[in-house]
Structure 1
Amino acid sequence: MNPIRRVGVRVEGVVQGVGFRPFVHGLAERLGVSGHVSNDAAGVVIEAEGPREAVAGFLKALRTDAPPLAAVEGVSVVDLSPRDEPGFRILDSDASGPRRTLISADSATCEACLAELFDPRDRRYRYPFVNCTDCGPRYTIVRDVPYDRPNTTMAGFPMCEACAREYHDPTDRRFHAQPVCCPDCGPRLRIVDGRGRPLGQDPIARAAELLRAGMIVAVKGLGGYHLAVDAGHSRAAAVLRARKRREDKPFAVMVPTLDEVRRLCHVDETAERVLTGRRRPIVLLDRRDDGAVSDAVAPGERRLGVMLPYTPLHHLLTREFGTPLVLTSGNVSDEPITFADDDALSRLSGIADAFLVHDRPIQVRADDSVVSVWRDKVVPVRRSRGYAPEPVTCAHEFPRPVLACGAELKNTVCLASGRRAVLSQHIGDLKNPETLRTFTETIEHLSRLFGIEPAVVAHDLHPDYASTRYAEDTDLELVGVQHHHAHVAACLAEGGTDGPAIGVAFDGTGYGLDGTVWGGEFLLATCAGFDRVGHLATVPMPGGEAAVRQPWRMAAAYLRSVADADELAVARRQGSDWERVRRLLDSKVATPVTSSAGRLFDAVAAILGVRDVVTYEGQAAIELEQRAERHHTDGYPADVVDDGSALVVDGPGLVHAVVDDLRRGTDAGLVASRFHTGLARAIERTCSEIADRTGVRLVALSGGVFANRLLLDRTVDVLEAAGFTVLTHSRVPCNDGGISFGQAVVAGARDRARS
């Protein structure tokens, strides 16, 4: 005898908009289980009744056999009285109650939908918006929860009879697929000029024709507009640079197939997996010498940012065009990506020659994500479309809900509650007014979607950051978090530990506790607090922010005590400006001091003739890394001394060694390599001294300087050889894109320490 059992089940996680209710319906029918399933604001609610063994199998399969896009975080079960309920039904959603459900990130077109897209017999043949429960837009179209069609930007497209049949058919893969549509009832594609006038009857073919002619086409994607040109057309790429005001920063490239990626770049198994996965980020890959992409696309770069098509529209366009396309954010440099149609025609009409547009509104703007591959790990550089708003699960509960406002550059925001930290999509640089509006809108949208009402707001200590001012204007309890502590805390939380650890936080700038510019820090840290136990030697920044834009100024600062420095090539290139800056240094006016590792890289890059002036953040350091010889080299020595308050790494000594080697006629690539190795060994020596004093042998590496794979490689090698356990980032960026997560972690840890 197999007695009847009825259970009430709550499933939480990413379980809406991913075909979970249809999956539950099919599972119940297969196992002979009756009952019902519905969405509510917290997730999925089920009542299931049947023979005890069948119900046990049903409960197990909820976790083990969930749909591809689902992420089941929890399944809670209570026993109920049997009701002898016939059949299994999907009920209407209930929007009441606490909001704990998670929204799926946008997902690349699945193989089944691609097959339909290119099947002439299918009613969705060449339809640019084909999707199903396993793929398509999610976060960028969601207005509210539960995730049902009326709460998305598809609400304005009533389903035709054929789509409605699929939507209501439990055997169809579009059963309860909220964005379901077809040419008869869904969004439509057009190609227009800058005034909105039609340019042709076949938008895809016309766009490809214009691209072949060297024109710039604005393409409306999932999270905003891109600007597209032929990646093999040097003049077109140069025109795009001029109109977009993007002098040197590399463009990303979209190619039709994985085979085409292999013709452009070296692709290992990890890169292949992420290129072809559902998230479809831009992947930074080492270029082949014979790759058919114009030098104007990524001038002087060893690496190329490459992605595969992730929407039906992209598949159609790349297949029609046939060769690689530049696909870069639709904006003028330093502005946020354009996502509203009228705004796009207004802001981009001076850049684009034509617009490939559609009438499905975008609710949330989201740039493409960017990742790199390091030691078989996918490392986020910019976490956005395809990843946001999926949460980072933490080892500990947040005692009170937290809003973390992030940094000024590469801003993200984070909302944390329970054990979830919801990191927003990349927002950008808050110095831009439109980006600041996006910042506030994102906070409001995520708070509404996830039902998080923060009790605490965490912020950077810099008083002039827009994110700090926003925090101070709230009525919430303020938690100020030092910039580099946030970096280290983010890395610790990713590693599932509260510390203590030796946190090595190397970046460009961060507001220090002493009011100076930090950026080359050794912190003895837990998630709740830290002591600054070491740092790079401080040097002046002649002209303040001007020294960030002009690395040769940092060379002048580091070379103050070097004999005959005026005879070096970097000095001669600047002429009278060099002497003017030397006088500024002597006067100590407008020369704030810094311990920044980023500024140390700038100085070496200028001395080696790599880069005197930058047009984007980190450019000098990136080009210095690419210039460095990749084979193992000896490193320059750097003294580590105790000044009574902290260990101080002799950065000027490293620079002097660079100059000595350069004067001996050593190749600049070898000098750059020796500098990287010398800095890595200085990090190890400092950590070893701290470990000898404290017994702590866990090291967390964070900050944007560690996006440098060569430095990261050599630092991890020497630390592990010295017996340290080393934590690095793999879920949030090591750069300022991860600061908001670290701020939230610190606020939560301090809350726990008080409780």
Structure 2
Amino acid sequence: MLKTYQITISGQVQGVGFRPFVYNLANEFLLNGTVSNNEEGVIIYVSGATENIQSFYKKLTHFPPPVSKIQHSSITKIDFIDYKNFKILPSNKKGQLNLSLTPDFAICNDCRKELKNKKNRRYYYPFTTCVNCGPRWAITETFPFERNHTSIDEFAMCDDCLQEYKNPLNRRFHSQTNTCPTCGVSLKLVDSKENEIEIVNETIFNKIAKLLLEGNIVAIKNTSGYLLCCNAENETVVQKLRLQKNRPNKPFAVLFPSLKFLKKELTLSSKELKLLTSTESPITIVPLQNYHGKITINSVAPKLNQLGVMLPYSGILQLLASKLNFPIVATSGNIHGSPIISENKEAIEKLKSVADYFLQHNLKITHPQDDSVIKISKKFEQEILFRRSRGFAPNYFNPSINSNKKILALGADLKSSIAYYPNEYLYLSEYLGNLENYDVYNRFTSTTNAFLAIFEQQPNIVLIDKHPNYYSNLFGKELAQKISSTLIEIQHHKAHFSAILGEHNLFNKKVLGVIFDGTGYGDDAQIWGGEFFKYESNQIERLNHFNYFNWLLGNKMSKEPRLSLLSLASEEMNTVLKQKFTQNELKTYQHLKQNNQLKTSSVGRLFDAVASLLNITDYNTYEGEAAILMENLITNYDLKTCKNYLNNLENEISSTQIIKYIYQDIQNGVSKENCIANFLFTLASTILKIATTNHYKHIAFSGGVFQNTILVDMLIELVPKEIKLYFHKQLAPNDENISFGQMMYYLNIKN
């Protein structure tokens, strides 16, 4: 006897080829019915033999399309409906959205092959996509994910594309981003004065490859925003890009023409290979040992023994790469500190003094995104996310949230992101940048407004950082007042701790939280950053912290490591200080130090002080530069020979003492590498000592300091078997996770 069942699927199931997959699967099991997208995911009605329906459901949920992620599914028997066939129906949105949004996917192997196939009608068409790949969030205007809800809707499908779209046997069956050279997106190459470059007897990508080889900088509009590109083997042009982008030392990412080329020049681990070829295709930071290529390393990654590498992840980059026999710098299309640019007019206006040529296209990018960045630790292969953006945003899969409130969390200022909980899902924006930059602040507010518009919901609760002068704090206050929402301030480091507790669902355990970063407004109005918290029974309390030292000259302190050293230096180090400051500076700053009321426990600033003391750097030209250069100097370490600088102290965690002992080691001829290893060993040992003294079996880590892969490896190597360590995996340990942490704090913490 024939039966009818209703099946609902939710999760990352729109824009991933789910409906065509269901269509073909239903025909395989001889079932009639319908499938459609709605505001909650995918809804399926099937009629047929019960045994066939159960087999269909099992295969559907166990072997879904490759880029989908099923979060919930249900099957319910309903009254019989006599369907005559199986159909894909247009989306039918009856209520507000309650589904995962779809991130961008790297180009799949099938589409790559078509680009190179002269007999294929998409030969050399840079916007080739299918149900398994291509831009999604970048072009989304609203949901459910249908063509008319994206910016690609401006390009009406030609007859050939429509045929593919309607053909169940074609992999572009119901592909919402389907276009071709006849009906699709077009490219043009212009110079910095907007004169179009005529392409004669060659492809546009041949021309760009020649321009790059000749030493030009080309701004390339990719599928998620502009990239500034130049020949990574040409030191003159790399330095020119540095100067004109106002980026003196921060390393550039390098795009290699192919995996084969990359493997020839660098040794990659299996984890690094997997990341580089994944659907997210992030920039992956890899070690430079035994590098024999021609990249001008000192210009691309100054003073570093690591390199951020990536492979072509879009049709545009793939076609350009096919014409290159050298790697290229591929860095965000912006002036350093500003958000990535995606509009042609703005790119010319802001980058004409940087780029010689511009590759433009006429597809509107609704949500511009930087490339995501990941690093794998050397010893224990711990994966650490440095930037969560293209390929990962805007979803976060966390089934433990359950609240009837609509909650908006506005994060922090330095590495801002927003988190929104308007339904049964949590949405985390891409990395947005430092809100002190006017353009980044505008991107932050427009992203917030876009989230509110997409979900057609106003938040009942607005969560902000406790720092009274943060731009996110001020914006949150204005927004909450405007829409009559409840405003709640959450301390920065407690948000960090809540983020790692939430990511690993640790709210039912007793946990030691270790939060090390550069800065954060504390409950006592001092600058925190070297914190130990205890969590138990939905309460967080400050257990311990690094001893306070003077916070000097506001934000200037984070930009000049020498100021951190001055704050921590004893009189015996005056000779060192005299080499770093003028006599007038020393007199003024010493006076400030004696009369200063603002104190800090920051481990980030302690890293700065160590870097200055070791003459690694006295100035940070980018965030965390001193710490990165320090980590970079350790090629290897042996824990058996490492020294704990705080071994003789009982309960005090003294930054002053650490600096004093490092100074003594320098006087005794200990190498920089060993001093740094001892310093990191001291941090790791102190953490584990506090855990064992207070009988903790679970330690959770957050804050930018835990992007240091050597510190992470040391902790893993030192930890006793009875203690379990928790590091961020889905989120960056830096301030990008603050918005998520604010959300977790509000939902789970009582105090």
TM over 0.5, shorter chain: yes
Shift of 1:61: 1.8
Matches within 5 A, 1:108-147: 108-147=106-145
8 Å CA contact 2:225, 2:368 repeated in 1: yes
Aligned residue among 591, 599, 605 for 2:611: 605
Shift of 1:167: 0.6
Aligned residue among 351, 356, 367 for 1:353: 356
Q: Distance in 1 between matches of 2:582 and 2:673?
A: 25
Q: Distance in 2 between matches of 1:336 and 1:528?
A: 37
**Aligned amino acid, residue 503 of structure 1:** G
Q: Distance in 1 between matches of 2:225 and 2:103?
A: 15
Q: Distance in 1 between matches of 2:123 and 2:728?
A: 42
Establish whether residue 742 from structure 1 lines up as the match of residue 745 from structure 2.
no
Q: Unpaired runs of 5+ in structure 1?
A: none
Shift of 1:739: 0.8
Partner of residue 203, structure 1: 204
Q: Distance in 2 between matches of 1:231 and 1:338?
A: 22
C-alpha distance 707-117 of structure 1, shift in aligned 2 (>3 A): same
Partner of residue 237, structure 1: 238
Partner of residue 75, structure 1: 73
Moved more, 23-32 or 667-676: 667-676
Matches within 5 A, 1:314-325: 314-325=317-328
**Could you report, residue by residue, the CA deviation over 1:294-313 in whole angstroms, capped at 9, with x for unpaired residues?**
12000111111111110011
Moved more, 464-473 or 601-610: 464-473
Q: Distance in 2 between matches of 1:215 and 1:472?
A: 46
Aligned residue among 445, 449, 454 for 1:449: 454
**Aligned amino acid, residue 241 of structure 2:** L
Q: Unpaired runs of 5+ in structure 2?
A: none
Aligned residue among 284, 300, 307 for 2:303: 300
Shift of 1:450: 4.2
Partner of residue 271, structure 1: 272
Shift of 1:433: 1.7
Q: Distance in 1 between matches of 2:198 and 2:457?
A: 47
**Could you report, residue by residue, the CA deviation over 1:133-159 in whole angstroms, capped at 9, with x for unpaired residues?**
010010000101121111101111011
**Aligned amino acid, residue 488 of structure 1:** F
8 Å CA contact 1:252, 1:327 repeated in 2: yes
Shift of 1:65: 2.0
Q: Percent of aligned pairs with the same residue?
A: 32
**Could you report, residue by residue, the CA deviation over 1:386-409 in whole angstroms, capped at 9, with x for unpaired residues?**
001122314242342211101101
Q: Distance in 1 between matches of 2:423 and 2:219?
A: 41
8 Å CA contact 1:118, 1:126 repeated in 2: yes
Partner of residue 293, structure 2: 291
Establish whether residue 491 from structure 1 lines up as the match of residue 512 from structure 2.
no
Shift of 1:562: 4.0
Partner of residue 515, structure 1: 525
8 Å CA contact 1:527, 1:745 repeated in 2: no
Aligned residue among 647, 670, 673 for 2:674: 670
**Aligned amino acid, residue 439 of structure 1:** F
Q: Secondary structure of the residue that 2:517 maps to in structure 1? A: strand
Shift of 1:486: 0.9
8 Å CA contact 1:392, 1:731 repeated in 2: no
C-alpha distance 22-427 of structure 1, shift in aligned 2 (>3 A): same
Q: Distance in 2 between matches of 1:285 and 1:690?
A: 37
Partner of residue 711, structure 1: 711
Shift of 1:205: 1.4
Shift of 1:582: 4.9
8 Å CA contact 1:553, 1:581 repeated in 2: no
Establish whether residue 387 from structure 1 lines up as the match of residue 387 from structure 2.
no
8 Å CA contact 1:639, 1:653 repeated in 2: no
Matches within 5 A, 1:453-492: 453-473=458-478, 474=480, 475-492=484-501
Shift of 1:452: 4.9
Partner of residue 616, structure 1: 622
8 Å CA contact 1:392, 1:423 repeated in 2: no
Partner of residue 700, structure 1: 700
Moved more, 725-734 or 448-457: 448-457
Q: When the two structures are aligned, how many residues end up with a matched partner?
A: 737
Q: Distance in 2 between matches of 1:226 and 1:580?
A: 46
Q: Distance in 2 between matches of 1:146 and 1:663?
A: 66
**Could you report, residue by residue, the CA deviation over 1:517-544 in whole angstroms, capped at 9, with x for unpaired residues?**
0000001125954211111111112323
8 Å CA contact 1:318, 1:325 repeated in 2: no
Establish whether residue 637 from structure 1 lines up as the match of residue 637 from structure 2.
no
C-alpha distance 17-734 of structure 1, shift in aligned 2 (>3 A): same
Aligned residue among 326, 329, 334 for 1:326: 329
Establish whether residue 432 from structure 1 lines up as the match of residue 434 from structure 2.
no
Aligned residue among 89, 92, 95 for 2:90: 92
When the two chains are superposed, the root-mean-square deviation of aligned CA atoms in Å is 1.7
Shift of 1:501: 1.0
Shift of 1:237: 0.4
Partner of residue 731, structure 2: 732
Shift of 1:330: 0.5
8 Å CA contact 1:456, 1:477 repeated in 2: yes
**Aligned amino acid, residue 544 of structure 1:** G
**Could you report, residue by residue, the CA deviation over 1:158-179 in whole angstroms, capped at 9, with x for unpaired residues?**
1111001001111111011011
Q: Distance in 2 between matches of 1:322 and 1:571?
A: 50
Aligned residue among 688, 713, 723 for 1:684: 688
Partner of residue 163, structure 2: 165
Which 4+ stretches in 1 moved above 4 angstroms? 639-642
**Aligned amino acid, residue 483 of structure 1:** H
Shift of 1:97: 1.5
Shift of 1:717: 2.7
8 Å CA contact 2:34, 2:46 repeated in 1: yes
8 Å CA contact 2:19, 2:35 repeated in 1: yes
Shift of 1:456: 1.1
**Aligned amino acid, residue 580 of structure 1:** K
**Aligned amino acid, residue 270 of structure 1:** K
Q: Secondary structure of the residue that 1:154 maps to in structure 2? A: helix
8 Å CA contact 1:218, 1:225 repeated in 2: yes
**Could you report, residue by residue, the CA deviation over 1:464-492 in whole angstroms, capped at 9, with x for unpaired residues?**
11111121111211221111111111111
C-alpha distance 42-169 of structure 1, shift in aligned 2 (>3 A): same
Shift of 1:636: 3.0
Partner of residue 551, structure 1: 561
Q: Distance in 2 between matches of 1:746 and 1:222?
A: 36
8 Å CA contact 2:135, 2:224 repeated in 1: no
Aligned residue among 402, 409, 413 for 2:407: 402
Q: Distance in 1 between matches of 2:266 and 2:603?
A: 30
Q: Distance in 2 between matches of 1:145 and 1:258?
A: 35
Q: Distance in 1 between matches of 2:747 and 2:444?
A: 22
**Aligned amino acid, residue 649 of structure 1:** I
Shift of 1:222: 1.8
8 Å CA contact 2:100, 2:425 repeated in 1: no
**Aligned amino acid, residue 603 of structure 2:** A
Partner of residue 663, structure 2: 659
8 Å CA contact 2:256, 2:310 repeated in 1: yes
Shift of 1:577: 5.2
C-alpha distance 211-339 of structure 1, shift in aligned 2 (>3 A): same
**Aligned amino acid, residue 273 of structure 2:** E
**Aligned amino acid, residue 551 of structure 2:** M
Shift of 1:287: 1.0
8 Å CA contact 2:14, 2:144 repeated in 1: yes
**Aligned amino acid, residue 520 of structure 1:** G
Establish whether residue 423 from structure 1 lines up as the match of residue 433 from structure 2.
no
8 Å CA contact 2:245, 2:354 repeated in 1: yes
Q: Distance in 1 between matches of 2:76 and 2:733?
A: 42
8 Å CA contact 1:640, 1:648 repeated in 2: no
Shift of 1:195: 2.7
**Could you report, residue by residue, the CA deviation over 1:35-88 in whole angstroms, capped at 9, with x for unpaired residues?**
111111211111100011111111112211211111111112221222321110
8 Å CA contact 1:227, 1:327 repeated in 2: yes
Q: Distance in 2 between matches of 1:101 and 1:544?
A: 43
Aligned residue among 366, 388, 402 for 2:369: 366
Partner of residue 344, structure 2: 341
C-alpha distance 31-525 of structure 1, shift in aligned 2 (>3 A): same
Q: Secondary structure of the residue that 1:320 maps to in structure 2? A: coil
8 Å CA contact 2:422, 2:455 repeated in 1: no
